[in-house]
Chain A
Amino acid sequence: MAQKDNNFLIIESGKAEKHYFKDLWRYRELFYFLSWRDILVRYKQTVIGIAWSVLRPVITMVIFTIVFGRIAKLPSVDAPYPILVFTALLPWLFFSSALSDSSNSLIGNANMISKIYFPRMILPASAVIVALIDFFISFILLGIIMLWYRFVPSWKIVFMPLFLLLALIVSLGAGFLLSALNVKYRDFKYIVPFIIQFGLYASPVGFSSDVIPNKWRFLYSINPMVGVIDGFRWSIIGKGVEFYIPGFLISIFLAILLFLIGIIYFRKTEKTFADRI
């Protein structure tokens, strides 16, 4: 056993463990295995399996293009409307499935929590990782759609990972917070789908943020997903997409704030999970 020297441990009532983040590192393989389990199970259980992560964004894209582009006739940027929608759907679907899966992750693995010790943060975090993998599948889809429309993405696409990172921070923060709240208040599971449904229309998924009057734009950016989605459009479509800096800064600020609140609340309540679940 390699870590023989690090194995001295003191458990004391009312004190946070000093080893927590070291433990998180020691259990890093569990991240991998839990994500792997969830993906494997999904593709084994559902008949359409992988098709599901393709169908969902495509159908949403078609509907949004029809509703917002054709019926409401909202203006597009210098790109076909389906591409405008899909560049926003990518981060949005990632966020929404990360949020719904991670908020249920503790309750769904109640048995593990009450029988085995491991840093509980692994559960919501690995749910986010599963959503991330779906994101990459959808990203390939975006490439296919761009080929179809013979659309060349902007060189700024190299900045896209930064916006993905921001989406990751938002999802993890919200996931930690909601999963912990879900253990304490069981009716949070009814609130999460509402947040997701509401958020879909509150975020610029089906339309461009330019539709929002300028005086409201700063307020609108309080939703951190606005910054993420605008960033995705800016980096992928490029031409004709203006980047609203103050809004983006507030998105970053709130995302980090949410992340910290999520971690702090999670750590605070974590010790009681096994007693409550």
Chain B
Amino acid sequence: MKTAIEIENLGKKYIISHQGQAQQYVALRDVISDSVKKLVKPKKSMKPQREDFWALRNLSLQIDVGEKLGVIGRNGAGKTTLLKILSRITSPSEGKIKLNGRVSSLLEVGTGFHPELTGRENIYLNGAILGLSRKEIRKKFAEIIEFAEIEKFLDTPVKRYSSGMYVRLAFAVAAHLEPEILLIDEVLAVGDIQFQKKCLDKMGDISREGRTVLFVSHNLTAIEHFCSRCILLQSGNLILDGNVESVIEGYIKDVREGTKDLILADRIDRTGSGKIRAVDFKILDSNHNEVITMKSGEDYYFEIDYLNNSEDNFKNIVVSLDIFDDKNSGLLLFRTNFTNNNLEIKKRTGKIFCKVNNLPLAPGNYHFSIFISSADIEILDYITDICHCVVEGGDFFGTGSSGLPTHCKILHKAEWFIE
């Protein structure tokens, strides 16, 4: 097999300065005044505290021609840094990379789009920015507008486009690049479901043509669907490399450890008689696959695995599931007796499911608490601060747009009218 990308000992260092408030830019006047101060008081070191931060370190990797490599890891694991180095946006601090083939990167769709220009004009501009020649763009022009479904709006400035149209056009241009090596970062997190599917199909086509693809995503389904090999990064280090399933498994474990969730069964900071204990908690999507992030507006199962420590059968079990935001305010409560759904527990172990349709949480960080009691008589188990999870934007309102507010926590449909 020919090698498309060969990475040796790659590292990227950033210098973080702890100079009072986080100062993003250097101002010339500060440089001048600092050096004057140094002249006046040469002894006293005015050096701000500086710290090296390795966004990526000791990364060695070989990718064969035609391989589809998924790159996963928690936020800050160095995924985007890796793509930025490979696409030459930023240069590495150490190490060496050999690239064999024309590289295109898609770190964001629509980079360089100008709102005042029309769709047609932006196709040419964006194509040129992405490295297509005018001839190549002209050749693919019809294909691009057909893919983007914007024929009618070709000569409208893109500032009047809906966000869906905008994203479609931007992806369409990018999807018609024909590089030998394609780097993609999380771009599928946009657009409506149908279009996402279309993009995935297009990417499938690209991969069948024998191109090498590096695909960064939090969307594990897409990774599973699309990649032939996967790597897991953790704080800048490569910790797993192998087939997609085992690496995704490792990732889920990594996320669970990262959120400092002890295994529920082992936790002792709980109250209640303990006749019944919640021993595990999982979030499942509508296909019963375990997930670690949720999307607003989708359907989920919350699964509580229980252990019945007594010999009794319980008839009238009340289970509550509270959802808190990252400031620990209670936002939502699901309780069996709200809906006259109190449960009967006979077996020693089992699973309790709570199905929530159309998840009404806005994007943000959340955690749960579980409360199990026997008919309001006896508290069996009460445990807080479990399962820290993230809700990402989704198409809650069914409008095809995933742009949701983050300054509120609960979403609900409303009707608007004028009288």
Contact = CB atoms under 8 A, between A and B. Distances in A.
Contacts of A36: 125
Interface stretch (B22-30, B240-248, B253-261, B359-367): B22-30
B292 to A, nearest CB: 27
Interface string B132-169: 01100000000000000000000001000000000000
Category for how many chain B residues contact A: 35 or more
Given A27-B131, A29-B128, A115 B117 contact: no
A45 to B, nearest CB: 6
Interface string B89-102: 11111111111111
A3 B131 CA distance: 13
Contact of A13 (B94, B100, B111): B94
A29 B131 CA distance: 9
B102 A7 contact: yes
Contact of B85 (A11, A33, A34, A112): A11
A118 B125 CA distance: 14
Interface string A1-29: 10100011111110001000000001101
A117 B87 contact: yes
Interface stretch (A51-59, A181-189, A199-207, A225-233): A181-189
B27 A186 contact: yes
Contacts of A33: 124-125, 128-129
A37 B95 CA distance: 38
Category for how many chain A residues contact B: 35 or more
B105 A117 contact: yes
A51 to B, nearest CB: 18
B14 A37 contact: no
Contacts of B28: 185, 187-188, 191
A271 B92 CA distance: 9
Contact of A44 (B90, B98, B116, B124): B116
B39 interface: no
A10 B86 CA distance: 10
Interface in B69-126: 84-103, 105, 107-108, 111-112, 114, 116-117, 121, 124-125
Nearest to B115: A41
A29 B134 contact: yes
B98 A112 contact: no
B10 to A, nearest CB: 8
B329 to A, nearest CB: 35
B111 A10 contact: no
Contact of A116 (B117, B124, B130): B130
Contacts of B103: 9
A118 B112 CA distance: 12
A200 to B, nearest CB: 23
A8 B97 CA distance: 11
Given A40-B117, A41-B114, A112 B129 contact: yes
Contact of A275 (B88, B90, B117, B131): B90
Nearest to B99: A9
B100 A117 contact: no
B408 interface: no
Contacts of B100: 7-9
Interface in A106-125: 109, 111-118
Contacts of B25: 185-186, 276
A11 B94 CA distance: 10
Contacts of A186: 25-27
A116 B105 contact: yes
B64 interface: no
B92 A13 contact: yes
A7 B96 contact: no
A272 B93 CA distance: 11
A185 B23 CA distance: 12
A31 to B, nearest CB: 9
A276 B91 CA distance: 12
B304 to A, nearest CB: 43
Contact of B180 (A7, A185, A271): A7
A41 B112 CA distance: 13
Interface of A: 1, 3, 7-13, 17, 26-27, 29-30, 32-34, 36-37, 40-41, 44-45, 109, 111-118, 184-188, 191, 271-272, 274-276
6 contacts: A34-B128, A112-B112, A116-B105, A117-B105, A118-B129, A274-B90
Interface of B: 11, 14, 25-29, 31, 84-103, 105, 107-108, 111-112, 114, 116-117, 121, 124-125, 128-131, 133-134, 157, 178, 180
Given A37-B114, A41-B117, A111-B112, 9 more contacts: A11-B91, A13-B95, A40-B117, A45-B116, A112-B111, A116-B89, A116-B129, A187-B28, A274-B89
